[in-house]
Amino acid sequence: MSNTWNLSGVIVAALTPLDEDFALALDDLPPFLDFLALRGNHGALLFGTTGEGPSFAPAERLQLLKVALQVRQVHPDFKLLVGTGTPSLQETIDLTRAVFDLGCDGVVVLPPYYFRKASDEGLFAWFSQVLQRAVPTGGALLGYHIPSQTGVPLSLDLLARLKDAFPDRFAGLKDSSSDAEHARRLGTRFGKDLQVFSGNDALFSLALENSASGCITAMANLRSPDLRLVWDAHQAGKAHPQAHARLATARSLMDRYAPFPPLFKALLARLHPFPRWALRPPLMPLPEDVAEQALGEALAQVDGFAT
């Protein structure tokens, strides 16, 4: 199957710039997206988990997307995805329709995560409404499989049913299960018929070997050069074990300092010319001593981490 939506490669789960009063730092967004594009990212997911998506109102997400679209003036092929899933069906429909109207390339949609015992039948009905009422023909909707956060897994049978029912709208999955066996099962079941984006840098090479279309990860805010080495090597039918090893080491280290938004906002400000952006409560800034410890370990354990 061809890549109908032209989505593939290294996509960064972008941080959301915030001022000290927790308002969107809109002026910081264009240079940040330019930085991400120049470092090899093929696109960005706005308002994913790393972007603190559930902490923002629909109007704020639309406001940021309008500014983000400016990146295409310099990087016309840079893809923009938006996290639009909320527990409210109508709010998800309204927001999803609005971001497509503005010109985004696709949406990444969390399941309705309040009712954790929802059946596959109920989830199919919920996603069907979003797909029918908000996603245009040829628009790309990726389900967001992150059961550690939502408590609502997206089963392979559910994915198959959605793909069969909406072949021109349901593109695939962002797989943030961090489960190697799940990556293999996705590849075995769907091959290239489902676009799967790995959410775990250490599993990126494995996911590509199992027909994944790319990755959407937090570490791409800092480690996109290594992710591109892995991606480019795979496109050439090769592997890049050195880049993979650096990614695996970095991911193992970063996982010890989760959640990611405080960690990556602290590290980005130390390594690159960006402010130390605030976080929306309930997330809190990483304590200075912890940030220094994380950075010191990364510099000691991962070659080129400062570049």
CB 78 within 8 A of CB 33: yes
- Catalytic entry in 50, 86, 113, 144: 144
The span from the CA of 170 to the CA of 163, in Å, is: 6
- Catalytic entry in 79, 163, 174, 265: 174
Nearest alpha carbon to residue 64 among 286, 280, 283:
280
Instruction: Specify whether 144 is catalytic.
Output: yes
Instruction: Specify whether 66 is catalytic.
Output: no
pLDDT of residue 1: 38
pLDDT of residue 4: 74
Q: In sequence order, which ranges of 13-166 are alpha helices (DSSP H)?
A: 29-38, 58-68, 89-102, 120-134, 147-150, 156-165
Which residues does the chain have with pLDDT short of 70?
1-3
Residue 253, sorted as left (phi over 0), alpha (psi -120 to 50) or beta, turns out to be alpha
Hey, is 203 helix, strand or coil? Answer: helix
pLDDT of residue 2: 42
Termini Cα distance of the chain: 37
Residue 119 tokens read as 């059946």
CB 173 within 8 A of CB 195: yes
- Catalytic entry in 49, 50, 84, 150: 49
- Catalytic entry in 4, 66, 114, 188: 114
pLDDT of residue 3: 57
Instruction: Specify whether 113 is catalytic.
Output: no
The span from the CA of 295 to the CA of 289, in Å, is: 10
Instruction: Specify whether 96 is catalytic.
Output: no
pLDDT of residue 5: 80
The CATH number of 9-236 is 3.20.20.70
